[in-house]
Amino acid sequence: MFPGSIGREQGCSVFCQRLIAFMFLHMLQFHIPLICKIMAESLLLPLVRGVARKAADALVETVTRMCGLDDDRRMLERHLLAVQCKLANAEDRSETNDYVKSWMKELKSVAYEADDVLDDFQYKALRRQSKIGKSTTRKVLSYITRHSPLLFRFEMSRKLKNVLKKINKLVKEMNTFGLESSARREEQQHPWRQTHSKLDDSKEIFGRDGDKKMVVKLLLDQQHQRKVQVLPIFGMGGIGKTTLAKMVYNDKEIQDHFQLKMWHCVSDNFDVIALVKSIIELATNGSSAMPGSIELLQKKLDEVIGQQRFLLVLDDVWNEDKRIWEDELKSLLCSVGGPGSVIVVTCRNKQVASIMSTVKPHELVFLCEEDSWELFLNKAFGNGIEEQADLVTIGRRIVDKCGGLPLALKPMGGLLSSKQKVQEWKAIEQSSIGDNVGGKYEVMPILKLSYKHLSSEMKQCFAFCAVFPKDYEMEKDRLIQLWMANGFIQEDGTTDLKQKGELIFDEFVWRSFLQDKKVVLKSIVYASVTEYETVVCKMHDLMHDLAKEVTDECESIDELTQQKALLKAARHMQMAETKLEQISMLCKGGTYLRTLLAPSDLWKVYCSNFLSRLLKDFKELLHASASLRALQYPPYSSNICKAINAKHLRYLDISWSNIVRLPDSICMLYNLQTLRLMNCSMLQQLPEDMARLKMLIHLYLFGCVSLKCIFPNLGLLKNLHTLTTFLSVLEMALG
């Protein structure tokens, strides 16, 4: 039955600089775990935090109380909170301690199991609300008291106690590790990235002459400005912001124009006193005894800079706290110097740029195809390697994979400069950029630093994008709905889930985690209105590599088959049409999938002789998946509805289906937030009781040309934000 199963950086000598560089590269090559520590926390922390929040949910509490299981629920909540306090320390220890790493893996599994159990209680309450048609907690409680089946109590008691037993064991083990509480620990210190203003004259720079001319002109144009101006240069990690700043800093016009030039790498240390002291040292060409108070430092700054026209480069700024800049640092730095003084800021985040800018920020974008090729060519064929036609062909494809990112192109070209055989080039082409020495040890640490600055929610949302293949065009609304379905987004009292998701999406675009954002027209095949607008985006290949590196939960059937692994550890998966037949061999012993996506372009298999077998395999997977939160299944499979095991389901997409009538059991998906029925051209009727889906936020009916009416009492769906359909249908529903 559908609902019953509805379940799962100048002061050193050249020698010192070279020694430091050598040591750094040595560390990168042989001690990469140290780099990995830049990630502030594991994705385990937000998971545990979310489950603890659910354990304290009012609906969950009321049902457990009425079932005599509230003591167990409270103990589970306390244990989750205790574990949560020590996870940051556990993350550090896991880098060198395999036992702690294994413990964390087990904790993740138990946390997911606990989430499913708590979700069962939540579902029970929602179901009772729907049945008695009343929404207040007291009335729901009275119903549960009188009518809660003994079978449910027995089953849930067994499940809850089983989870509690497992987490009790893990808590005891945790205490033996001597893990410190993260609440008492100082903020983890990350190695600062230090930069300098010197350009390597022996190295040619490609594709940035236009950017340099533009920025130089902007700086010279400020010569009549009495106040210090701030010009940010922003763009994603590895795009070449520091290189561009160096080009500008060393330009002859700039050298002649400014009387005082200073370069300071800020990185994570945006301490006002430390920064001002450094600037004073730069202005005086050496260190000296300096006062510790801001007032005396201000006087010293006035003394050493005076009315000189200065250029100050603040490289690699991360501060997003507007108060620190506006109230503390801006007044210090912008009150000195003569007319035409400028501060150039390089940053990855557009938000940092917007906080500090007085001049329109300059965005640095990816290199064009030819500039990318010239940069790669200079590195790859710079050691006397002959430009064989085959190597050039392969090299072009590798350059395409680097996507115009200089930090990827340079190490890739450098790596291939030591390879002379076509087979060697092919092998690198076929591998992920993040899998080879040059790419992994030079690119990933830079990108991981951007990842480290994300919030817990954003880390989960970003990692989830690994479920899609590279170069996949992601639809904004659909992506947000999938984040919501998996519980990655939490309401904060003033912002609902949909708004929170949009804020996170926009932040990803600002920070270049997502790119190529644009509005496109999607086709509706069977409707008089043939197109609708939607926002789409893509993820840079290197960002995709990063997403795959920070999570082990997003898998493809190809990866699992290659690893000879089962689906048991995977949580999110998108399928390809030719791979459905491999499902049955991967799901032995059950799965814990939470997202299962079968793209709608699988309609191509409709003309295939394998259709019936593919649907059979898909049904097997559904039966074995008891934790599904999001499901999109193949079109032309109307009879598959009965196979859905969907008590926890929040997202359901059956677009392009040949279904004529939705089954009444759809009305028992009480957790459902999104229902997509796009281009279901044969759909004539929706169940009358769909108004019981009180959690429904999005209902998509584009292309449902045969639909005669929606359902009565549509106004009861207070959470509904999206309803796409034809006016005539709406009139019929509201009339």
Note the pLDDT of residue 274: 87
Of 131 and 734, the one with more pLDDT? 131
Note the pLDDT of residue 579: 55
Are 220 and 301 members of one domain?
yes
Q: How many CB atoms lie within 10 A of CB 534?
A: 14
Q: Which of 135, 158, 177 corresponds to the end of one domain? A: 177
Note the pLDDT of residue 709: 76
Q: pLDDT tens, 175-187? A: 887 776 654 343 3
Residue 731 pLDDT > 50, yes or no?
Answer: no
Are 614 and 475 members of one domain?
no
Q: How many angstroms separate the CA atoms of 460 and 480, rounded?
A: 12
Q: Which two tokens stand for residue 519?
A: 């509005």
Note the pLDDT of residue 39: 41
Are 68 and 162 members of one domain?
yes
Q: Which of 363, 384, 403 corresponds to the end of one domain? A: 363
Residue 524 pLDDT > 50, yes or no?
Answer: yes
CA distances to 631, 686, 710 from 665, in Å? 16, 11, 16
Range of the domain at 84: 39-177
Note the pLDDT of residue 291: 75
Alpha helices (H) in 259-323, listed in sequence order: 272-284, 294-305, 322-323
Are 88 and 227 members of one domain?
no
Of 95 and 221, the one with more pLDDT? 221
Residue 131 falls within a domain, yes or no? Answer: yes
Are 262 and 149 members of one domain?
no
Note the pLDDT of residue 180: 67
Q: pLDDT tens, 361-398? A: 999 999 999 999 998 888 888 766 677 888 999 999 88
Mean predicted confidence (pLDDT) in 601-626 = 60
pTM above 0.75, yes or no: no
Residue 79 falls within a domain, yes or no? Answer: yes
Note the pLDDT of residue 233: 96
| Three-state secondary-structure class, residue 682 | coil
Q: pLDDT tens, 8-24? A: 334 434 334 333 333 33
Q: How many angstroms separate the CA atoms of 460 and 571, rounded?
A: 13
Quote the number of domains for the chain.
5
Are 342 and 247 members of one domain?
yes
Window from 57-61, 69-73, 323-327, 441-445 with minimum mean pLDDT = 441-445
Note the pLDDT of residue 69: 92
Mean predicted confidence (pLDDT) in 41-70 = 89
Q: How many CB atoms lie within 10 A of CB 202?
A: 5
Note the pLDDT of residue 93: 75
Q: Categorize the per-residue pLDDT at 2 as very low, low, confident or very high, splitting at 50, 70 and 90.
A: very low
Residue 527 pLDDT > 50, yes or no?
Answer: yes
Of 224 and 202, the one with more pLDDT? 224
Residue given tokens 């292309």 in the structure block: 703
Are 428 and 347 members of one domain?
no
Residue 419 falls within a domain, yes or no? Answer: yes
Q: Which two tokens stand for residue 536?
A: 């789409």
Residue 696 falls within a domain, yes or no? Answer: yes
3-class DSSP string for 476-539: HHHHHHHHHHCCCCCCCCCCCHHHHHHHHHHHHHHCCCCEEEEEEEEECCCCCCCEEEEEEEEC
Of 38 and 343, the one with more pLDDT? 343
Are 163 and 235 members of one domain?
no
Of 462 and 540, the one with more pLDDT? 462
Q: pLDDT tens, 72-93? A: 999 999 999 988 888 877 777 7
Residue 244 pLDDT > 80, yes or no?
Answer: yes
Of 216 and 320, the one with more pLDDT? 216
Q: Residues 650-679, buried b or exposed e (16+ Cβ, 10 A)?
A: bbbbbbbbebeebeebbbbbbbbbbbbbbb
Residue 353 falls within a domain, yes or no? Answer: yes
Mean predicted confidence (pLDDT) in 716-725 = 83
Q: Which of 395, 428, 454 corresponds to the end of one domain? A: 454
Residue 409 falls within a domain, yes or no? Answer: yes
Q: How many angstroms separate the CA atoms of 688 and 667, rounded?
A: 9
CATH number at residue 576: 3.80.10.10
Check: CB of residue 514 under 8 Å from CB of residue 464: no
CATH number at residue 272: 3.40.50.300
| Three-state secondary-structure class, residue 540 | coil
Q: Categorize the per-residue pLDDT at 689 as very low, low, confident or very high, splitting at 50, 70 and 90.
A: confident
Closest CA to 622 of 7, 3, 4, 120: 7
Are 378 and 349 members of one domain?
no
Residue 29 falls within a domain, yes or no? Answer: no
Q: Residues 134-148, buried b or exposed e (16+ Cβ, 10 A)?
A: eeeeeebbebbeeeb
Are 245 and 353 members of one domain?
yes
Residue 164 pLDDT > 80, yes or no?
Answer: yes
Note the pLDDT of residue 729: 45
Are 275 and 343 members of one domain?
yes
Residue given tokens 């159990």 in the structure block: 117
Q: Categorize the per-residue pLDDT at 193 as very low, low, confident or very high, splitting at 50, 70 and 90.
A: low
Are 132 and 166 members of one domain?
yes
Residue 651 falls within a domain, yes or no? Answer: yes
